[in-house]
Structure 1
Amino acid sequence: MSGRFVRSSKYRHVYGQSTKKELCYDNVRVSNNAWDSNLLKVNPEYISLNWEASGGGAFAVIPLSHKGKLPDQIPLFRGHTSAVLDTDFNPFNDQVIASASDDGKIGIWKVPDDYRIVYEPEEEIEDVAPVAKLSGHQRKVGHVKFHPTANNVLASSSADYTVKLWDVEAQKAHQSLAHKDIITSFDYNQDGTLMVTTSRDKQIRVWDLRTGEIVSSGAGHTGAKNSRVVWLDSERIATTGFSKLSDRQLALWNATDIGAGPIGGFRYLDSSSGICMPFYDHDTKTLFLAGKGDGNIRYYEYGNDDFFELSEYQSTDPQRGIAFMPKRALNIKGNEIVRAYKTVKDSYVEPVGFYVPRRAETFQSDIYPDCYAGVPSVSAEEFFEGKSARPNVIEVEILYEDKPITKDNVHEAAEDKTEFKKEPTPAPSSAPASKGSESVSKSAEPKEEKPDLQSKGSFGTSSSAFSGDKVNSMLAKASEEDEPRKKDDENNDEWENSGLLATRNRLAKTGKIEVVHQAASGGKTLTEKEIGAMVKSGKISSSEGAKAVEKVREEEAKEAKEAEEAEEKKPEPVEEKKPEPVVEKKVEPIQKKVGPKVEPKSTENGKDKTEEKEINPLPLLKEESLPQTDSATTAAAGDSDKRISSLEELVHSLVSQVKSQQETIQQLSKKLDACTDCCASDAAPSKNECANRPEGAEQCDNCDC
């Protein structure tokens, strides 16, 4: 019995739940600025929203407790001379907000203790002014984001092609990362020592925030529209972007080797035109994708260097901005694992909760790993002096029991010990075992379980033995064609010295070793000894040498196999028609003697006995034994020829019938189209009656229908 294997997951049945209109935040005026940002941010107390305001830039801060329709006039956070493009809450202080503006300034704001948005008619509405402004960018500031572990450390990106790292208290920029084009997105790793950026030059760069140097870089999505990036766990990052054909894509990358290309290739999402806004929940290892201009939110579970699609929240209400709530403010007792806040038609903000269906009324520890505590690990001064630490986390059960967050229940997050697959580096004398393809399918739904295609056989066998193993040959070929490049086990110094670094990069992207053959040997095919010599000299790595040996042996096996097949095909034309006249003379008497005329007769003992008059065995053996054998073989060959010819005639007959039917169908289709153009009229009394047919006539004058 066949069945479908379903990947086991605690979050496989997660579903999104919309909110009633009266419990949303209505009567908002979302900014109409075309800059690509998420438009809003949220923390356990407030929503910050880019506001459409006159007289300079402004944004609104809405208390989460004030649900329903907002007043027509509310206090705004004013202080910029141009539109506000982005905001971000301090993760360690819910009252502090940073804003980025078109005027090239960064505003630092503090929500007043007596802040409210409802005023009496006779009261004057008071706007909020910034407590500090950070100046240093030469053009507009597009994005701001606080550091995940260091207190009062802020990063900002600008149209002056730089990302600056600020000490907010000292109002000083300690680091400036220069790019070649406008930065479209950036994110920190978990301890905040590295940063990944995407820009309009279609490059992905990973930076060391201490030194300001690039750790890794490479080409990203090839489409003209903006791409976004989020840092996943440890050494993996995810990006969303577009292909050259404007298809939306998702990709997974090795942060230490961006130049190797996406792990498993680019995953096709759909053909929508809106930019995909990603969000990664580190606790549940779930990636959420929300598209601008559509109302759907997809979510995937990340694991084993792959994304496994869980489900999709579908809505007809389009969103232009979205933000996600920190875990410490969720409805833990209702098994809510994530909550998003999205703008709907630029008129109200709707919360969307994502829940795990559980009947138990107790704390579900299996779906709630430790979450961020909202407590800094290091200060800004310590961070810029070189100190780093993992984020502080708490047990979610503390939130379930409504206990306060204190120093006693906060601890440092455990280091991510995920072991990623690494390319083996065997000796050049023996090549590695064939490895199955790890490429991700381009279909919308990824495979939930991958078969283990790793072969236990070795390519160290002789070419004849290898050619006999068809399965291993096919797996090896598939592995070479589809296997994505992994991190090289050798440095690039000698490649740079020999001028073969570009060749090596092309090799890594295609997974093929032929370019190494051509570049290193002047276009000639290498032997195994020559490849081993190249490995020893350092021109190629041991893993690449193993691949080259594997390729050479595969080609030898292929040639041997083709030679064997050619030899097998040679004896096929054995059918000779020279003995045909002999068949006509000698087959008939043999059939008379050996044919069905031999009738058994009962003897006295009750046993059958054949009359010796019909068959005389002795003369048959002496005189006709050899002619009988040859004539029987020839007769069988003649019968097979007749059967083949009759089958060929039958096939030709069927093909001609099919062609005739196709021509008839085409003629009928053309006639039907003509009738439709002629007779399909609104004036026709019914579908079966032609409007152009004269009364009493059997056919239409125009089309004969």
Structure 2
Amino acid sequence: MSRRVVRSSKFRHVFGQGVKADQCYDDIRISQMTWDSNFCSVNPKFVAMIVDASGGGAFIVLPLSKTGRIDMSYPTVCGHTGPVLDIEFCPHNDNIIASGSEDCSVMIWEIPDGGLTSPLTDPVVKLDGHSKRVGILSWHPTAHNVLMSAGCDNVVILWNVARGEAVVRLDTVHTDLIYSACWNRDGSQILTSCKDKTLRVLDPRKGTVIINNFGEPLTLQELDTSSGVLLPFFDPDTGIVYLCGKGDSSIRYFEVTDEAPYVHYLSMYSSKDSQKGMGYMPKRGLEVNKCEIARFYKLHERKCEPVVMTVPRKSDLFQEDLYPDTIGPEPSVEADDWFNNKDGQPILISLKDGFVATTKAKEFKVHKSLLKTASASSGNQPDNNGEVQSLRKEVKQLKEALEELTKRVSELETKH
């Protein structure tokens, strides 16, 4: 009698679990828009969700610790004149988030550390360049202040956010609606999928197609996707890909390996409520002492529920095999250098003692003089009053930072 050999994998027993009710974010009116983006973005400080808003578009940003019932009057980010379709936190500064909207614009926002105390209507930068709604946003993984946007005008734009300018405009590559767009690990290439049933690998700076015809797939997995679009999340550290069906109530996960058949089904997390969207916590935001290898933020109609993926282990010591060095928040190249063809590999960090921000997050600096020049050349006179307000705000922030440092030094002196 032949015995079937079972492939060994440390992720075979990964299991998903929803958190207790008091650890959810309740009474949030999640957007009813029919759009295929995640509707949620999360980092170790905040969780952001696109919400229903009258007379425009809005999203809510909550400190991660602010669980429980959220008051209806809680302030939102509400500067768009049309519904918000996509949001994404900057990987190099947890206080910066980008939003794309049906009003054809992209806006960059700075969220104060404790969250919002009043509605936020003025973005740090507004990026105008699309002629139809903007439904896809993605920050460059290693270059500071580089953002990709894709709109229903079939155009991909690469922005230097600090200068407020569109540096590369890919407007002849896609013949139809762009469904998705993402960077590779070091941000030297972009992959897009399009309504014309074509996958394209692009050189983002030259604006050329590198690969177009993928031929036969390496492997094929049949999935029941009747409920809606699949939102994929890939963890390069573990080789696990998670597939969350929008409108579905499950998260399926697979291990990707270098040898045939390449993709191995692991398991599925299911619950009774379907998901309206999904956020995915960066690796540095996980609890490594609990063997947590992924955390999702599942959007229901009226709440957000964290779902934790864990590898069962008896020991409470740090499990090195589960946590190889992972991508940290430090960028490896500046926007200007990247646009001048300099690539930067991800800067990796160890999670051995959990993630601790040893250096100040990469400060988000806008070259105001350059933005002013741009607005003047487009026929708008610079707003001197606004400039003064901005400078005052910067001085105030510097004072606060100085006070914080002084306090920290005195605490350290007291300890020693």
State the TM-score bracket (shorter-chain normalisation). 0.7 to 0.9
Distance change in 2, residues 1:403/1:54 (3 Å):
closer
Partner of residue 131 from structure 1, selected from 121, 124, 128: 124
Segments of 5+ residues of structure 2 without an aligned counterpart are: 361-416
Match of 1:13 in 2: 13
Q: Answer yes or no: is the 8 Å Cα contact 2:295–2:309 preserved in 1.
A: yes
Residue among 137, 140, 145 paired with 1:144: 137
What residue is the counterpart of 1:261 in the other structure? 216
Residue number in structure 2 paired with 1:383: 338
Taking the TM superposition and a 5 Å limit, the aligned residue runs for 1:294-313 are 294-304=248-258, 306-313=262-269
Aligned-residue offset at 1:206: 0.7
- In structure 2, the CA distance between the partners of 1:62 and 1:113, relative to structure 1 (3 Å rule), is closer
Find the counterpart in structure 2 of residue 415 from structure 1: none
Question: Is 1:200 aligned with 2:156?
Answer: no
Aligned to 1:343: 299
Deviation of the 1:271 alpha carbon: 5.1
**2:43 matched residue in structure 1:** 43
Q: CA deviation at 1:270?
A: 1.8
Q: Tell me by how many angstroms 1:4 deviates.
A: 2.6
1:132 counterpart letter in structure 2: V
Structure 2 counterpart of 1:78: 78
Equivalent residue for 2:152, pick from 148, 155, 159: 159
Q: Distance in 2 between matches of 1:113 and 1:363?
A: 29
The answer to whether the 8 Å contact 2:61/2:115 transfers is no
Could you tell me how far 1:28 is from its partner in structure 2? 0.4
CA distance in structure 1 between the partners assigned to 2:211 and 2:285 by the alignment: 36
| Alpha-carbon distance, 1:62 to partner | 1.3
Distance 1:113 1:267, change over 3 A: closer
Q: Distance in 2 between matches of 1:126 and 1:80?
A: 12
CA 1:403–1:62 in 2, change beyond 3 Å: closer, same or farther? closer
Residue matched to 1:217: 212
**Structure 1 equivalent of residue 394 of structure 2:** none
- State percent identity of aligned pairs: 44
Q: In the alignment, what sits opposite 1:352? A: 307
Matching residue's letter, 2:39 = L
| CA gap 1:169/1:127 in 2 versus in 1, 3 angstroms | closer
Per-residue CA shift, 1:438-464, capped at 9, x if unaligned? xxxxxxxxxxxxxxxxxxxxxxxxxxx
Q: Show the counterpart of 1:371.
A: 326
Distance of aligned partners of 1:210 and 1:126 in 2 relative to their CA distance in 1, 3 Å threshold? closer
Question: Counterpart of 1:383 in 2: which secondary structure?
Answer: helix
Normalised by the length of structure 2, the TM-score is: 0.83
Q: Secondary structure at the match of 2:10?
A: coil
Compute the displacement of 1:304 (Å).
Answer: 2.1
Counterpart of 2:212 in structure 1: which amino acid? S
Distance 2:356 2:66 in 1: 24
Q: Distance in 2 between matches of 1:46 and 1:34?
A: 24
Q: Does 1:183 align with 2:178?
A: yes
1:275 CA drift (Å) = 1.0
Instruction: Report the counterpart of residue 314 of structure 1 in structure 2.
Output: 270
Q: CA deviation at 1:383?
A: 0.3
Whether the 8 Å contact between 2:90 and 2:97 is mirrored in structure 1 is yes
Residues matched between the structures, number: 356
Question: Over residues 262-311 of structure 1, what are the superposed CA-to-partner deviations in whole Å (9 max), with x where a residue is unaligned?
Answer: 223x3211252311110000111100001111111000010025111111
* CA distance in 2 between partners of 1:363 and 1:64 (Å): 24
Q: Is the 8 A contact 1:398 1:404 kept in 2?
A: no
Deviation at 1:112, TM superposition (A): 2.4
Give, in angstroms, the shift of residue 114 of structure 1: 5.0
Matches of 2:310 and 2:4, distance apart in 1: 25
**Are the aligned partners of 1:78 and 1:130 in contact in 2 as well (CA < 8 Å)?**
no
Partner of 2:243: 289
Q: Which residue identity is paired with 2:100?
A: A
Letter in 2 for 1:351: P
Q: How is 1:617-628 mapped onto 2 (pairs within 5 angstroms)?
A: none
Q: Secondary structure at the match of 2:94?
A: strand
- Structure-2 residue corresponding to 1:27: 27
Contact (CA 8 Å) 1:376, 1:391: kept in 2 or not? Answer: yes
- Distance across 2 between alignment mates of 1:132 and 1:272: 39
Please say if residues 19 and 352 of structure 1, whose CA atoms lie closer than 8 Å, have aligned partners that are also in contact. Answer: yes
Q: Which runs of 5+ in 1 are unaligned?
A: 118-124, 219-257, 408-705
Q: Which has the higher strand share?
A: 2
Letter of the 1:148 partner, please give it: P
Question: Are the counterparts in 2 of residues 75 and 128 from structure 1 also a CA contact under 8 Å?
Answer: no
CA displacement 1:202-234 (0-9 Å, x = unmatched): 11111001211000113xxxxxxxxxxxxxxxx
Taking the aligned partners of 2:65 and 2:229, their CA distance within structure 1 comes to 31
1:273 equivalent in alignment to 2:224: no
Indicate if the aligned counterparts of 2:42 and 2:281 stay in contact, CA closer than 8 A: yes
Distance in 2 (alpha carbons) for counterparts of 1:81 and 1:315: 36
Q: Give the whole-Å Cα distance in 2 for the aligned partners of 1:7 and 1:384.
A: 44
Partner SS for 2:352: helix
Pair 1:50–1:271, CA change in 2 (3 A): closer
Closer, same or farther: CA 9–405 of 1 in aligned 2, 3 Å: farther
**Structure 2 match to 1:231:** none
Matches within 5 A, 1:465-504: none
Contact 1:373 1:405 survives alignment (8 Å): no
Deviations 1:489-542 (A, max 9, x none): xxxxxxxxxxxxxxxxxxxxxxxxxxxxxxxxxxxxxxxxxxxxxxxxxxxxxx
Matching residue of 1:332 = 288
Structure 2 counterpart SS, 1:375: coil
Give how far 1:397 is off: 0.8
SS of residue in 1 equivalent to 2:234: strand
SS in 2 for 1:59: strand
In 1: Cα distance, 2:314 partner to 2:114 partner: 41
Cα separation, 1, equivalents of 2:357 and 2:130? 40
CA change 1:204–1:364 in 2 (3 A) is same
* Residues 315 and 191 of structure 1, relative CA distance in 2, 3 Å threshold: same
CA-CA distance at 1:129 after TM superposition: 2.3
| 2:162 alignment counterpart | 169
* Structure 1 contact 294–316 (Cα < 8 Å) conserved: no
Question: How far apart in 1 are the matches of 2:148 and 2:342?
Answer: 18
The question of whether the paired residues in 1 share the 8 Å contact of 2:77 and 2:119 is answered with no
1:27–1:70: 8 Å Cα contact kept in structure 2? yes
Give distance in 1, aligned partners of 2:201 and 2:243: 22
Distance 1:135 1:83 in 2: 16
The alpha-carbon deviation at position 398 of structure 1 amounts to 3.7
For the pair shown, the structure with the greater C-alpha radius of gyration is 1
